[in-house]
Structure 1
Amino acid sequence: MEIITTSSLGLFIGLLMGLTGAGGGIVSVPALIYFLHLSIAEAGPIALMAIASSAGIGALLAHREKTLRYKAAPLIGLAGLTTAPFGLWLAHQVPNRPLAALFGLILIGVSMHFFLKEIFDKDGPKSKPNDNAICQLNNTTGKLFWTKPCFLTLLSVGAVSGFLSGLLGVGGGFVIVPALRRYTNLSTNSIISSSLGVMAIIAIGSAGISAFAGTLNLPIAILFSAGAIIGLLISRQFSQKLNPLRIQQIFASFTFLVGIYMLYKSFLDI
């Protein structure tokens, strides 16, 4: 029964990751906590392995379709790898309840971001790229202008997402996607593809560190990852046929409820 549950959870996470570029990682840990009764420190490495495998495949497919920013994604990802070990270390020092409360607050914050974007940006996910962004595309070459502010901004985005990835076992997409929307004028497809690339780099490094330290439950991680890969591949077959605004609304509502649940559980033994 646990095999079916674990694989099904992975499938659901992969679907979310493929549709949003941000949703899979952030709800992996709550799913593992609720259905498999793991602590955040135990669930985090498993979620990271699933993110590493599924996001990695998604990023490779995106690169083949030429929607992945192959310079920006490694820069953000490598910056994240420098801070992820600090998050991994801290996750094993802090009690589970404070981590659960922090996770719940982050989930609620992410859901509110989506809701507010829907209210103030009537175009939603189909909105035009940000023409006043710090990182601008060269319309002639199709590549980013690598100015110092752009370089430092993307470096900072990677550092924050890497730390949270290690601390909470998330891919960091909930940081990367809004940041790329705000600080670049990339298209939505390019942002989601690049987010998958960044998450793959950070998660591979973080999961590798966890495996080396002996904190990764490999049997559960393999089942969960296999389900996530299948889910991501399935989502790519019909993602273009779905209404992006509707996906955003459903994801925001789901994330908000999960955040409330995590806050509630933070006052109980998880």
Structure 2
Amino acid sequence: MHLSYLDGAALLSGVIVGFVLGLIGGGGSVFATPLLYYFVGVANPHVAIGTGAAAVAVNALANLLGHARAGRVKWACAAIFAAAGSGGAIIGSSLGKIVDGQKLLLLFGVVMLVVAAQMAIKRPPPQGHDFRLTRENAGKTVPALVLIGLVVGVLSGFFGIGGGFLVVPGILAATGMPMIAAIGSSLVSVTAFGAATAANYAWSGLVDWPVTAFLVAGGVVGGVFGGRLAGVLAARRQLLTQVFAALVAAVGIYVIYRGVLVLMKP
């Protein structure tokens, strides 16, 4: 089988994204759009965003299955958050499609800096308690899940990212469940938001499916190696996160720099 440069670059990009996801456990999807646009050579920023969103949905689903088998998903809370956020993702992605592609990339670079800052700030994980949605707490919990899910979904759809770095804190704020349960539950939303965003972009012909396939295939391979290395380097996880945050910030600055140059052209 002969691979073109585009195919090979998409496959390698998937390996990078999957490796980071497996190694760090989140945040790697923010690399998808910059890699597709600047490295793979996808000419249209909107196609890069739509294609990246499709790959993010598949990768999140693959990770979700493992968490579900381990019993780390609070399905009722996850379903409410995902349902509300999916509507938000449709709204956000619809807005994203009408924004100039270069301006959207510039804003994406700003988001990468926010992600980097959020990951770089060292905080002790909250001491959550085992949480179950009941009639007694539904009156307070459900509105919080719906409101936060809607806002996060809009942002996820607008930028074409999984939004896990926002979903996890959102679920924690609404429920106070243990961190590991929030991470597992968040993948339901990341899958749903990515699928909703990709479907909206695909409706407008803004998803390159062959590139998506190579991106997903590379992500599977990268995820395996990243996961294995994560076990070896478990004691240095905080250092890995700091290094990753610095890398995200560097790429974000580059995206902003390129975006400003393009927008300054007469």
TM over 0.5: yes
RMSD of equivalent CA atoms: 2.2
Structure-2 separation of matches of 1:148 and 1:110: 32
Structure-1 separation of matches of 2:9 and 2:162: 21
Q: CA, structure 1 residues 12+186, in 2 after alignment: closer, same or farther (shift >3 Å)?
A: farther
- Residues 16 and 24, structure 1, Cα contact 8 Å, conserved in 2: yes
Q: Does 1:190 align with 2:188?
A: no
Match of 1:65 in 2: 70
Match of 1:5 in 2: 9
Structure-2 separation of matches of 1:76 and 1:203: 14
Q: Helix, strand or coil: the match of 1:67?
A: coil
Q: Helix, strand or coil: the match of 2:92?
A: helix
Match of 1:244 in 2: 237
Per-residue CA deviation, residues 11-46 of structure 1 (Å, 9 max, x unaligned), is 111122234443122221112121023333111111
Match of 1:51 in 2: 56
Per-residue CA deviation, residues 82-139 of structure 1 (Å, 9 max, x unaligned), is 1222222222211123212211221112212222x32xx3x4xxx3425xxxxx634x
Q: Helix, strand or coil: the match of 1:104?
A: helix
- Residues 24 and 230, structure 2, Cα contact 8 Å, conserved in 1: no
Structure-1 separation of matches of 2:74 and 2:231: 20
Q: CA, structure 1 residues 150+90, in 2 after alignment: closer, same or farther (shift >3 Å)?
A: same
- Decide which moves more: 164-173 or 205-214: 205-214
2:142 equivalent among 151, 170, 195:
151
Match of 2:260 in 1: 267
- Residues 162 and 202, structure 1, Cα contact 8 Å, conserved in 2: yes
Match of 2:98 in 1: 93
Match of 1:133 in 2: none
- TM-score, normalising length: structure 2: 0.85
Structure-1 separation of matches of 2:22 and 2:171: 17
2:32 equivalent among 21, 28, 32:
28
- Residues 58 and 232, structure 1, Cα contact 8 Å, conserved in 2: no
Structure-2 separation of matches of 1:11 and 1:187: 30
1:161 equivalent among 152, 173, 184:
152
Q: Helix, strand or coil: the match of 1:83?
A: helix
Q: CA, structure 1 residues 62+159, in 2 after alignment: closer, same or farther (shift >3 Å)?
A: same
- Residues 92 and 157, structure 2, Cα contact 8 Å, conserved in 1: yes
- Decide which moves more: 88-97 or 17-26: 17-26
Unaligned runs of 5+ in 2: none
Q: How much has 1:66 moved relative to structure 2? A: 0.9
**2:212 partner letter:** A
Q: How much has 1:255 moved relative to structure 2? A: 1.4
- TM-score, normalising length: structure 1: 0.84
Q: Does 1:174 align with 2:165?
A: yes
- Residues 51 and 206, structure 2, Cα contact 8 Å, conserved in 1: no
Q: CA, structure 1 residues 181+239, in 2 after alignment: closer, same or farther (shift >3 Å)?
A: farther
Q: Helix, strand or coil: the match of 1:129?
A: coil
Match of 1:129 in 2: 127
Structure-1 separation of matches of 2:45 and 2:147: 25
